[in-house]
Amino acid sequence: MKKLLTGDEAIARGAYEAGVSYASAYPGTPSTEILENLAEYKEIYAEWAPNEKVAMESAIGASIAGLRSMVSMKHVGMNVAADPMFTWAYMGVNGGNVIVTADEPGMFSSQNEQDNRNYAKAAKIAMLEPSDSQECIDMVKAAYELGEEFDTPFIIRLTTRVCHSKTIVELKDRKDVPHKEWTKNPAKYVCLPAIARNLKVKLLERMKKLEAYSETTPFNRIEMGDTSVGVIASGICYYYAKEIFGDKASYLKLGFTNPLPAGLIKDFCSRVDKVYVLEENDPYIEEFVRQQGCACIGKDLFPSMGELTPDVIRACITGKPNETIEFDRTKLIGRAPTFCAGCPHRGLFYRLGKRKDIMISGDIGCYTLAAGKPYQAMDSTVCMGASFSLGAGAQRAFHMEGVDRRVVTVLGDSTFFHTGINSLINTVYNKANTVNIILDNRITGMTGHQDNPGTGYTAKGEETTLIKIEDIVRAIGVKHVYVINPNNLQEVDDTLDKCLALDEPSVIITRWPCALKKFSKEDREEFTELFVTRDKVDPDKCIGCKKCLKAGCPAMSYVAETKKVVINRAQCVGCDVCAQVCPKQAIGKED
Amino acid sequence: MTKSILLVGVGGQGTILASKILTNGLMEAGYDVKMSEIHGMSQRGGSVSSQVRYGEKVMSPVIEKGQADIIVSFEKMEALRALDYLKKDGTLVVNDVEIPSMSVITGDETYPDDVLDEIKKHVSARVVDATGLARELGNEKASNIILLGTLIKAMGLTAIDWDTILEANIKPKFLELNKKALQVGMDAVQ
């Protein structure tokens, strides 16, 4: 049966067809939908882990115990998972194990553009790079067969365009894979130095065998056409190259990219007049081609950042960009993403942004949008969980310099569970008197509403123990813990004042669900007033001062003809933040 | 010959469902199809786009600048923003709807009142009041399927059995509404 699948859906389908039984992940664009789709198959046990390191370790455990397992993550997630991954490479698998990394050339939803092919090389793990959804299925299935044959985990490296492009695939049946038996085998699975030294020898031998395999695998293939131009490409760049050159070039399509096939590359380069290496981000293939003594054109012509889409490649080769329709660009207005109407982050950041004498240490999530107008309430963002610890360091530095500046840190509920907990332990242990805010919107928001340890539900939708953030915070030793409603601006102000006056660490938990969340029965019990009302502007009282608009709600707009503000009924969910901002009490509930 | 369709709009306008129905119809009709979207931060009220390419054999899922055969914009400003992607003789369908961005709401920028005039200076745009037509049908949210109908007609794809495709992709409760919306959209262009 034919179907249009995204790369992410196809990775999950490939895992299903390959007989995978166990999967774990932490959400992260553009990889999130892989586990969401894996969880749809009743034959696969799938779970959300609190972070990528935990997901990786769980998948390693399942493999050692005898199941085919998968772990998926966005590119920066591999930084978190790298510790177990590097040693896992030494051990080799029992049940096959595939590690999916979704890289983001172009940084559509990411804080950096790292090229995770370098991880495969550094960790000595075999790697496949699919170019479309059918290859996602085929390569996942091959990775389990080859991984068990060569005794290695596999990395499958995707990019956003492969993850989020739909192409046609052929669906096949699931393979019935007998579970492998677990037997005690410390010489393989206990990485003590003496054992690891033996395993390193085996790892190096395995890489030699994989080098030989890379020369003959059908995933690395030469397609001869016109020999005046030769293109070496992997992943989506293969199709970009075909788009531009068609049959006016020859191709070396690389799908098995660690280890790379030295012989095949030398052979290909000898058969064409000039070689382009087309790859996004780092010159991963290019450097290898040059090491083989082959001349090529790579990053000297093509950019080292952003996507290498066909128009980018064409402009590099022809020296001029595609012709486009000229128009008056001064007519364009920006359309940056914003907090949704009813977003529980709005009230907090509206008030926090008013305090100009503090430093605000931020984190990764929807709330990073508070860095922009109208809030301008974020001074740093690095990675998941960094807000607390970066803030602690900055606060200590201000004290040491004698600077009278307080640090307020902010992160979300899922980010707290991810790596925020460790950082809060540091804050308490090392006596940083930061004000730490946990934005508990009852879900993992930015990636599209995945459950987390605080929601009471698993990836499969089963009820589970709900871990209360305030319990953890108190157990860590924070003495000043406040749980507040962020839509109540007076409560926000009062609590901030109280905490900023302390010489000890404090935690403020702003507890209100994401406006887009599909509310659970527990949500409806706890938040009885949950978005059941709407606000409206009384035109007789509105003086058109536009102060309410500075709260940044997309449901509100100013009407020039009437010189009044109106609220869009279709968007408003009655959070009342605007009503508290209005100096004339012109905003109230609809009747 | 591969054809390129670009659908643009603002997060929440239903571009994703429209492109899903479109691509499934094209696949059922025997074309090779590729569709590319960028999710993530852009869903939070930012600009969104779906790129659809179809033909005998499609290579890139991404449309080059200046190479879209047709752009369907669910919002006026997004049509202007997308002009970079339209072929010089390409078709532009634009929903006569203005959605202020946050910079407009907060007063940092002004939404110009002559966006359509600027567009019409350069291309012969087909302006459709899809939101108004959807309201007449009883549900504003059907405007995405009205625009899909306009697109189908403009690309000469009316021979595909769209009713069956809608049945496979739309909840039964909204099926009749959307079948009507598709027809209204087709009738909106001559």
CA distance, residue A162 to nearest chain B CA (Å) = 9
**CATH 3.30.70.2190 is the classification of domain A535-589:** no
3-state helix, strand, coil in chain B (%, to 5): 45, 25, 30
Output the pLDDT for position B43.
Answer: 62
Contact A327 B81 (CB under 8 A): no
Nearest by CB to A161, which of B62, B106, B107?
Answer: B62
List CB contacts of B30: < 8 A, sequence separation 6 or more: none
**Does residue B137 register a pLDDT over 90?**
yes
Rounded average pLDDT over A186-208: 98
CA distance, residue B73 to nearest chain A CA (Å) = 15
Per-residue pLDDT reduced to its tens digit, A453-511: 999 999 999 999 999 999 999 999 999 999 999 999 999 999 999 999 999 999 999 99
CA distance, residue A3 to nearest chain B CA (Å) = 8
Nearest by CB to B59, which of A164, A239, A328?
Answer: A239
- Taking a C-beta distance cutoff of 8 angstroms, is the pair A495, A506 a contact? no
| Domain boundaries along the sequence of chain A | 2-216, 220-318, 345-526, 535-589
Q: What class, spelled out in words, does domain A220-318 have in CATH? A: alpha beta
Nearest by CB to A554, which of B23, B102, B108?
Answer: B102
Contact B111 A340 (CB under 8 A): no
The answer to whether the A220-318 and A345-526 domains have the same CATH topology is: yes
Name the residue in chain A with its Cα closest to that of B1. A243
Residue B46 confidence class, pLDDT cut points 50, 70, 90: confident
- Estimate to the nearest angstrom the gap between the alpha carbon of B77 and the chain centroid: 13
Chain B residues near residue A376 by CB distance under 8 angstroms: none
Rounded average pLDDT over A202-215: 98
Name the residue in chain B with its Cα closest to that of A559. B105
Give percent above pLDDT 70 in chain A. Answer: 100
Contact B45 A340 (CB under 8 A): yes
Per DSSP, the three-state class of A5 is strand
Chain A residues near residue B109 by CB distance under 8 angstroms: 333-334
| A374 prior amide bond cis, ω within 30 | yes
Contact B62 A309 (CB under 8 A): yes
Taking CB atoms and an 8 Å cut-off, how many pairs form between chains A and B? 180
Q: Write down the ipTM of this complex.
A: 0.96
Per-residue pLDDT reduced to its tens digit, A47-100: 999 999 999 999 999 999 999 999 999 999 999 999 999 999 999 999 999 999
- Amino acid at position A346, single letter: R
Residue A187, both tokens: 């010489």
CA distance, residue A25 to nearest chain B CA (Å) = 17
Q: Of the CATH numbers 3.40.50.970, 3.30.70.360, 3.10.20.30, 3.40.30.10, which one belongs to the domain with range A2-216?
A: 3.40.50.970
In the block, tokens 């919107």 appear at: A441
Output the pLDDT for position B41.
Answer: 60
Instruction: Provide the mean pLDDT of chain A.
Output: 97
Contact B104 A553 (CB under 8 A): no
DSSP string, A65-121: TT--EEEEEETTHHHHHHHHHHHHHHH--SS-EEEEEEE-TT-SS-S----THHHHH
Name the residue in chain A with its Cα closest to that of B85. A324
Name the residue in chain B with its Cα closest to that of A448. B40
Chain B residues near residue A333 by CB distance under 8 angstroms: 77, 101, 103-104, 109-112
Rounded average pLDDT over A185-204: 98
CATH at residue B178:
3.40.920.10
CA distance, residue B189 to nearest chain A CA (Å) = 23
Homologous superfamily of A345-526: Thiamin diphosphate (ThDP)-binding fold, Pyr/PP domains (3.40.50.970)
DSSP A456: S
C-alpha closest to that of A72 among A416, A365, A450 = A450
Chain B residues near residue A334 by CB distance under 8 angstroms: 101, 103, 109
- Taking a C-beta distance cutoff of 8 angstroms, is the pair A100, A106 a contact? no
Nearest by CB to B106, which of A132, A448, A550?
Answer: A550
Domains of chain B: total? 1
Give percent above pLDDT 90 in chain A. Answer: 97
d(C-alpha B189, C-alpha A379), whole Å: 51
d(C-alpha A489, C-alpha A439), whole Å: 15
Contact A337 B101 (CB under 8 A): no
pTM over the 0.90 mark: yes
Name the residue in chain B with its Cα closest to that of A447. B40
Domain that holds residue B37: 3-187
Nearest by CB to B101, which of A109, A335, A374?
Answer: A335
**Does residue B40 register a pLDDT over 60?**
no
Nearest by CB to B60, which of A310, A374, A549?
Answer: A310
Lowest mean pLDDT among A23-32, B43-52, B96-105, B140-149: B43-52
Rounded average pLDDT over A553-571: 94
Contact A4 B36 (CB under 8 A): no
Output the pLDDT for position B39.
Answer: 61
- Estimate to the nearest angstrom the gap between the alpha carbon of A229 and the chain centroid: 37
Name the residue in chain A with its Cα closest to that of B99. A554
Contact B105 A166 (CB under 8 A): no
What phi and psi, each to the nearest 5 degrees, are found at residue A537?
-95, 130
What phi and psi, each to the nearest 5 degrees, are found at residue A407?
-110, 125
For the packed helices B143-154 and B15-28, what is the interaxial angle rounded to 10 degrees?
40
| A130 prior amide bond cis, ω within 30 | no
